[in-house]
């Protein structure tokens, strides 16, 4: 079967379009390192493109017409976009689905501690990572802290050059004989992935006496809180300790307005610090954090902006929690998407339960998630003729799962024939693949969840090198072909 390289099909103008589109994608990656940041970025762009919040449209009670655009957000972590088509919704939608969470390390709810002069944040990793890849590299802290009064503090520390970065220490090679003898999965344990926050002690003049020191009234609020905590501890234990920890509390209070108890209602994520970069001397690739799965999310929602009034209603659903099983209120297994479609139906004049079922069952979907790019250095893990090649274009996986197709959505042949037609008519360079060799491993996507409604679903996406590593790599040509493919799908699937 013919395998093509997308770059070989481009003229100079097409190459420039691919490069320009990927410059915009890099900006998205840099702005959207967490699911909350991704949703905020997407909503801002959607509103600029004329999309209106679904709840506001419901309040207004206006009937939607072909070409109208709506969006809905779930808990600031998932978002769905709709563009109403010419045909009734009961004839189905063309749906692009992807996820906007990525593997990372999360901060625990009671995280701050000091050990031998170093202050740490205790962590719990999120999703499938190789733990040893996260040590001894610059890390950034992103997230939201919600205080008891309901106010929120948004953090992003470590991305600008004048900001501090964080890190997780590793044992020096000179003392690493025991570590080097362990299998990779055990070389760095999960409980050893604690983030170093600082090492400077809070020095309290006059701390030998149970009284506030001279100059107390001139201290900052954070410094006063540290003094009060130290005196309280002295009264309870009769000795002073934890000076570095108290300094961290003072800095958190003074610079960010955060008290220790606020960690209870915080969502803080530790991600690689730094911007996505062009990779390769030819600038043909992008090295960055979070390609899985923002490399599918970005062309998906941008495709929604690029189409005119479609025949079938176009939809883009971008969800959280895929990396841990699509669970929770913001994962694909929640009823958020179904509820949003029901509200959309009501605004088009049909709010019946049967109409909702007909709409979902008659829909077509591309479940867009990354695929493993063939890596010649690890050829034994692939079956080459059924592997995705870097630069080979948009990837379609008839099934994913593991070993005996366990946990996969196995798309039917009739639907794949329709997808082939649409891609060929749209001039899209595409390829088919499996996720590694049989019995080597495997993985899953959100495809099987949407397939429960009876709709046709197939996995598609962009091939990635070093998937789930702190820094992953993709081909710019594949990103651009995904964008072209998603436009072709929204405009043409089910339309003949």
Determine which of 101-110, 222-231, 233-242, 375-384 has the lowest per-residue pLDDT on average.
233-242
Same domain for 110 and 259?
A: yes
Same domain for 183 and 112?
A: yes
What pLDDT sits at residue 215? 82
Region 257-283: what's the mean pLDDT? 97
What pLDDT sits at residue 151? 96
What pLDDT sits at residue 288? 98
Which of the listed residues 240, 272, 304 is the one where a domain comes to its end?
A: 272
Region 363-381: what's the mean pLDDT? 95
Region 235-242: what's the mean pLDDT? 54
What pLDDT sits at residue 481? 98
Same domain for 311 and 377?
A: yes
In a domain, 281, yes or no: no
pLDDT band, very low/low/confident/very high, at 338 (cuts 50, 70, 90): very high
pLDDT band, very low/low/confident/very high, at 438 (cuts 50, 70, 90): confident
Task: CATH number of the domain at 469, please.
Answer: 3.40.630.10
What pLDDT sits at residue 209? 46
Same domain for 263 and 383?
A: no
In a domain, 162, yes or no: yes
What pLDDT sits at residue 234? 65
Region 41-58: what's the mean pLDDT? 97
pLDDT band, very low/low/confident/very high, at 205 (cuts 50, 70, 90): low
Region 407-417: what's the mean pLDDT? 88
What pLDDT sits at residue 226? 86
Which of the listed residues 272, 307, 339 is the one where a domain comes to its end?
A: 272
Same domain for 133 and 217?
A: yes
What pLDDT sits at residue 171? 96
What pLDDT sits at residue 269? 98
In a domain, 173, yes or no: yes
What pLDDT sits at residue 204? 60
Region 9-13: what's the mean pLDDT? 96
Determine which of 171-175, 302-306, 371-375, 434-438 has the lowest per-residue pLDDT on average.
434-438
Whether the per-residue pLDDT at 212 is higher than 90: the answer is no
In a domain, 209, yes or no: yes
Region 437-464: what's the mean pLDDT? 88
The three state secondary structure string of the chain is: CCCCCHHHHCCHHHHHHHHHHHHHHHHHHHHCCCHHHHHHHHHHHHHHCCCEEHHHHHHHCCCCCCCCEEEEEECCCEEEEEECCCCCHHHCEEEEEEECCCCEEEEEEEEEEEECCEEEEEEEEECCCCHHHHCCCCEEEEEEEECCCCCEEEEEECCCCCCCCEECCCCCHHHCHHHHCCCHHHHCCHHHCCEEEECCCCCCCCCCCCCCCCCHHHCCHHHHHHHHHHHHHHHHHCCCCCHHHHHHHHHHHHHHCCCHHHHHHEEEEEEECCCCEEECCCCCEEEECCHHHHHHHHHHHHHHHHCCCCCCEEEEEEECCHHHCCCCCCCCCCCHHHHHHHHHHHHCCCCCHHHHHHHHHCCEEEEECCEEECCHHHHHHCCHHHCECCCCCEEEECCCEECCCECCCCCCHHHHHHHHHHHHHCCCCEEECCCCCCCCCEECCCHHHHHCCCCEEEEEECEEECCCCCCEEEEHHHHHHHHHHHHHHHHHCCCC
Whether the per-residue pLDDT at 236 is higher than 80: the answer is no
Same domain for 264 and 295?
A: no
Whether the per-residue pLDDT at 69 is higher than 60: the answer is yes
What pLDDT sits at residue 496? 78
User: Percent of the chain having pLDDT more than 90?
Assistant: 82
- The residue with greater pLDDT, 275 or 226, is 275
**Number of domains comprising the chain:** 2
pLDDT band, very low/low/confident/very high, at 365 (cuts 50, 70, 90): very high
Whether the per-residue pLDDT at 208 is higher than 70: the answer is no
103-125 confidence digits (pLDDT tens): 999 999 999 999 989 999 999 99
Determine which of 203-212, 271-280, 327-336, 467-476 has the lowest per-residue pLDDT on average.
203-212
What pLDDT sits at residue 1? 66
Same domain for 452 and 401?
A: yes
pLDDT band, very low/low/confident/very high, at 85 (cuts 50, 70, 90): very high
In a domain, 307, yes or no: yes
Structural domain boundaries, residue 146: 104-272
Task: CATH number of the domain at 242, please.
Answer: 2.30.250.10
In a domain, 299, yes or no: yes
Whether the per-residue pLDDT at 144 is higher than 70: the answer is yes
Whether the per-residue pLDDT at 73 is higher than 80: the answer is yes
pLDDT band, very low/low/confident/very high, at 194 (cuts 50, 70, 90): very high
What pLDDT sits at residue 239? 42
Same domain for 301 and 241?
A: no
In a domain, 283, yes or no: no
User: Percent of the chain having pLDDT more than 70?
Assistant: 96
In a domain, 147, yes or no: yes
Whether the per-residue pLDDT at 237 is higher than 60: the answer is no
Same domain for 60 and 178?
A: no
- The residue with greater pLDDT, 406 or 134, is 134
Same domain for 151 and 165?
A: yes
Mean per-residue pLDDT over the chain, rounded? 93
pLDDT band, very low/low/confident/very high, at 486 (cuts 50, 70, 90): very high
Same domain for 69 and 58?
A: yes
Which of the listed residues 242, 272, 302 is the one where a domain comes to its end?
A: 272
261-271 confidence digits (pLDDT tens): 999 999 999 99
Whether the per-residue pLDDT at 377 is higher than 80: the answer is yes
What pLDDT sits at residue 50? 97
Same domain for 156 and 182?
A: yes
Q: What is the pTM of this model?
A: 0.91
């Amino acid at each position: 079967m013919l395998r093509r390289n997308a770059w070989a099909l481009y003229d100079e103008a097409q190459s420039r379009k691919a490069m320009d589109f990927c410059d915009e994608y890099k900006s998205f990656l840099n702005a959207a390192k967490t699911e909350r940041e991704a949703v905020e970025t997407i909503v801002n762009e959607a509103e600029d493109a004329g999309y209106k919040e679904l709840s506001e449209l419901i309040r207004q009670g206006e009937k939607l017409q072909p070409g109208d655009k709506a969006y809905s957000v779930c808990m600031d972590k998932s978002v769905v976009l709709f563009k109403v088509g010419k045909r009734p919704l009961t004839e189905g939608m063309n749906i692009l689905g992807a996820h906007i969470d990525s593997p990372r390390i999360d901060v625990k709810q009671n995280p701050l501690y000091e050990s031998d002069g170093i202050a740490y944040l205790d962590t719990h990793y999120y999703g499938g990572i190789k733990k040893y890849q996260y040590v001894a590299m610059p890390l950034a802290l992103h997230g939201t802290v919600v205080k008891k009064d309901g106010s929120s503090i948004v953090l992003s520390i470590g991305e600008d050059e004048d900001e501090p970065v964080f890190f997780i220490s590793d044992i020096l090679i000179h003392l690493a004989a025991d570590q080097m003898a362990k299998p990779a999965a055990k070389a760095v344990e999960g409980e050893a992935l604690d983030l170093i926050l600082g090492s400077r002690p809070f020095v309290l003049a006059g701390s030998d006496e149970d009284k506030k020191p001279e100059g107390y009234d001139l201290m900052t609020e954070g410094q006063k809180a540290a003094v009060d905590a130290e005196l309280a501890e002295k009264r309870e234990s009769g000795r002073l300790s934890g000076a570095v920890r108290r300094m961290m509390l003072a800095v958190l209070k003074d610079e960010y307005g955060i008290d220790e108890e606020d960690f209870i209602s915080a969502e803080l994520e530790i991600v690689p610090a730094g911007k996505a970069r062009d990779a390769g001397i030819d600038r043909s690739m992008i090295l960055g954090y979070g390609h899985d799965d923002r490399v599918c999310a970005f062309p998906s929602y941008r495709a929604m902006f690029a189409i005119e009034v479609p025949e079938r209603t176009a939809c883009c659903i971008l969800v959280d929690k895929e990396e841990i099983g699509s669970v929770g209120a913001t994962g694909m297994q929640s009823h958020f998407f179904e509820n949003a479609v029901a509200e959309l139906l009501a605004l088009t004049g049909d709010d019946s339960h049967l109409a909702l079922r007909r709409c979902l069952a008659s829909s077509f979907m591309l479940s867009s998630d990354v695929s493993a790019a063939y890596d010649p250095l690890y050829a034994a893990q692939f079956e080459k003729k059924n592997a995705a090649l870097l630069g080979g274009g948009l990837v379609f996986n008839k099934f994913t799962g593991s070993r005996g197709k366990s946990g996969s959505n196995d798309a039917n042949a009739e639907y794949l024939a329709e997808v082939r037609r649409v891609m060929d008519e749209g001039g899209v360079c595409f390829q088919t693949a499996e996720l590694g060799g049989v019995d080597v491993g495997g993985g899953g996507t959100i495809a099987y969840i949407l397939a429960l409604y009876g709709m046709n679903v197939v996995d598609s996406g962009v091939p990635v090198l070093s998937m789930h590593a702190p820094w992953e790599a993709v081909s710019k040509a594949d990103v651009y072909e995904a964008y072209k493919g998603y436009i072709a799908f929204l405009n043409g699937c089910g339309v003949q």
